[in-house]
Amino acid sequence: MKLAHRELGEGPSLIILHGLYGSSDNWLSIARKLENHYHVFLVDQRNHGQSPHHPVHDFTALCDDLDEFIQDQRIDKAILLGHSMGGKTAMFYAVCHPEKVNALIVVDISPRTYQVREGSGTSFQMHKKMMEAMLNLDLKTFSSREEVMKALKPTIPSKRTRQFLLKNLARYNNNGFKWKINLPVLYKQLPNILKGLDSYSVLKDRQITSIPVLFIRGENSEYITEEDILIIQKHFPYAEVVTSPGTGHWLHAEQPDFFVTKILDFLG
């Protein structure tokens, strides 16, 4: 699949992969802080942003998309930076193609499969509930973004989360709105999106020691727990794990200067 992307800067190749519900647009401000050091590629993963829609959405497909992109751009080796779902794409790719990766940076996601955990901010049920709320809206009947924000509030009380989701709204023929992401497929494929390396028999015991690896987690996020650090060390024995103070899952948006400084320090 030919992925939509944008490019900034010059230097070693750095590919940034957004998370679920995200797009390359969400990372433009970070890319601008890195463009003086790297040739930054901001990629829309399948079923997101401006990239094509497809009924298959699992990490085998996402890795194949990334490999095709790297070949099309004639990149020999790249630094991979991925957040959440994009972090898993980057991990899977690095484990399958370590010879094509210079360094790996994973933002607030673990290599494990995320199971249903009631009360957790990472659970299948949480994402399922959010997607159902979005799918149940007849967007063509709304005249403003504020109306959509208000309609989602009972199910998604977090204003920050609703604002993030609404970045996927687009006008529909001057009559209401539509979702830019392929929401029906993402809803159906959610179990695959939450899978980790442990769900793939050929990958569950694989270790990567040939490239530098950095994990950055949000202090207030539940996506990388202390138990997850042991799982990280299983697959990436020499990985560095850094905690971004006072931040949640979207730590790069909450503390961008801290985030960029850690990346530049890590990459030297």
Q: How far is 133 from 143, CA to CA, in rounded Å?
A: 18
Residue 228's contacts (CB-CB under 8 Å, 6 or more residues apart) are 110, 112
Catalytic residue among 18, 127, 249, 252: 249
**CA distance linking residue 140 with residue 126, whole number of Å:** 25
What is the DSSP pairing of strand 78-83 with strand 101-107? parallel
Q: Catalytic one among 24, 84, 110, 244?
A: 84
Q: How far apart are CA 132 and CA 130, in angstroms?
A: 5
> ∠ CA 77-81-82 to the nearest 5 degrees?
130
Beta-carbon neighbour count of residue 144 at 10 Å? 10
**Is 84 labeled as catalytic in the residue annotation?**
yes
Residues designated catalytic = 84, 249
